[in-house]
Amino acid sequence: MPSEGKRMAGLWEREVGRLPPKRFANAVMASQDFVHSLNIRKRLRKHRACVNTISFNADGSLLLSGSDDRSVVLWNWEEAVPTFAFHTGHCNNVLHAQFMHFSDDRSIVTCAADGEVRHLQIQEGGRVTTNELVELEFAVHKLAVEPGSPYTFYCCCEDSSVWLFDLRGKDAVELFKCGAVNQFTGETIELFAIAIDPRKPCCFAVAGSDEYVRIYDTRKIYLDGNSSFGRPTEHFCPPHLIGENKDGITGLAFSQTSELLASYSYDNIYLFSREHGLHFNSIEVGERLLMDETEGVCHINTAPLPFCRDKFPIPKTFKGHRNVHTIKGVNFLGPNCDYVTSGSDCGHIFIWRKKDGELIRVMKGDKRIVNCVEQHPSGTVVASSGIENDVKIWEPGESENPSIAHIDEVETDMWHSSSSDSDAFVYNNNYDYMMDSDVDLYYENDDDDDEEDEDTSQDSSKEDKDGDNSAKEDDDGDNSAKDMSDG
């Protein structure tokens, strides 16, 4: 943590022009002072159910959120007011929503538990048109927009398929189905996460219901004979999980330098670099599941690497949170991806220092579960969302009662989250979704906890009344925009 003298020297250098403002801002965001001073400053309230997805636009002026209420909202987060909201046309929970690049924030793509991927366009005068791009039989969890492209994006689906979309054309293209490691069984895996490498936009990672992260290169995707399986260019997996088939992955995130975070259910978060790749370490994945070349023994459909597991490079590990009940994301914080952050089943936000994996901050972010944590593209602002129906904006600053949780409090909440029967209906271990009746029941039962939540997560701004900010659902299926002004 920088000393007071260094901070004052930095301020002086900025004021006299010796330190560029961008470098000064980056230095602030990279410091632990920034992390330790984060507190809830605003609550964005309009949705009527869980907020499953949040993302900033390119310049950070708007925040986009999507919810189980099947609507999306565009927020002026600085004023804590919604500027625009509309029903997406989905008939089930919106799981992910993203702005398309260079569209003046008028082009939005969404995916949902109903298996649909939709393109939403905000027209002049406030009219919204929606176009269904594809309808699949299983939930579509995640989208990945190609960096710098206003037209191209990908999605991954629970039926193991990966799709490519080009908004200039009419047809979506199924690239491949993601097969099990031993493809000759004909089995597939459910996919929950997809992410594009910002340094190499031709490469993307997918992950789901097994222990492997798969890397694909769009220049090398082809069909292998009559098989519809894609062929990865690399696999990642922590050594102790290789071949165990006991875990799944819910979240992926690339850093600016192509490091890859993977959040495992029932396990930890791991940071993979090139040297952790199975192919990089001469371990072949395919017909012969994994080869232990040091012993000259081939293991097929048995536990692989019984002899050289200890010699395999171990990725950096981030421990402490709990990821069982929902599909949680994972993310980097800081201008140079200096920190790692994730939500947890205990309702807290965890922040680790990337360079050594040390847990440096735990913050109370939800009564039950935090699923999403997103950083502003250039400012010292963080947004979070989860099972509650609001979005919380975290900014640095002094607070009489900062939103800091003590470790013993976190451990108590962990125990309750793992043992409480009352939370079982939210999500089960097979990733079932809350239906509308469950959402209404959940929030009806949670009304008595509002005062307690106010005490644990201090909000320095005045909160609007829930009744005034409820999102009006479009019962007739009309996708025209709703006026979001609360005035």
Q: What is the pLDDT of residues 158-189, one digit of tens each?
A: 999 999 999 998 789 999 998 888 655 667 89
How far is it, in rounded angstroms, from Cα 414 to Cα 138? Answer: 31
pTM of the model: 0.78
b/e per residue, 448-458, with b = 16+ CB within 10 A? eeeeeeeebbb
- CB atoms closer than 10 angstroms to residue 189: 22
* pLDDT value of residue 231: 84
Give residue 38's identity as a one-letter amino acid code.
Answer: L
How far is it, in rounded angstroms, from Cα 349 to Cα 328? Answer: 11
**Residue 221: alpha-carbon gap to chain centroid:** 25
* pLDDT value of residue 405: 53
DSSP secondary-structure letter at 310?
A: G
Tens digits of residue pLDDT in 220-270: 876 444 445 678 999 999 998 887 777 899 999 999 999 999 999 999 999
- DSSP notation for 221-267: ----TT--B---SEEE--GGGTTT----EEEEEE-TTS-EEEEETTS
Retrieve residue 297's tokens: 């023994």
Rounded to an integer, the average pLDDT of 426-440 is 35
Burial of residue 257, with CB atoms counted within 10 A of its CB: 0-12 exposed, 13-18 middle, 19 or more buried: exposed
- When comparing pLDDT for 215 and 414, which is higher? 215
- Min mean pLDDT across 41-50, 118-127, 410-419 is at 410-419
Residue whose tokens read 């993310």: 331
Residue whose tokens read 């000259």: 296
- Phi, psi at 43, each rounded to 5°: -125, 130
Tens digits of residue pLDDT in 307-320: 467 778 899 999 99
How far is it, in rounded angstroms, from Cα 11 to Cα 397? Answer: 17
- Min mean pLDDT across 7-11, 316-320, 423-427 is at 423-427
* pLDDT value of residue 33: 82
Of 285, 286, 312, 383, nearest in space to 341 by CA: 383
- CB atoms closer than 10 angstroms to residue 148: 10
Delineate the domains of the chain, giving CATH numbers in brackets: 1-30 (no CATH), 38-467 (2.130.10.10)
pLDDT band of residue 150 (cuts 50, 70, 90) is very high
Phi-psi region of 198 (alpha: psi -120 to 50; beta: other; left: phi over 0): alpha
> Is 43 in contact with 366 (CB distance < 8 Å)?
no
* pLDDT value of residue 283: 81
* pLDDT value of residue 286: 56
Give residue 425's identity as a one-letter amino acid code.
Answer: F
User: Residue 12: is its pLDDT beyond 50?
Assistant: yes
Retrieve residue 68's tokens: 């189980």
Tens digits of residue pLDDT in 90-115: 999 999 999 999 999 999 999 999 99
DSSP secondary-structure letter at 459?
A: -
* pLDDT value of residue 45: 95
User: Residue 300: is its pLDDT beyond 60?
Assistant: no
* pLDDT value of residue 263: 97
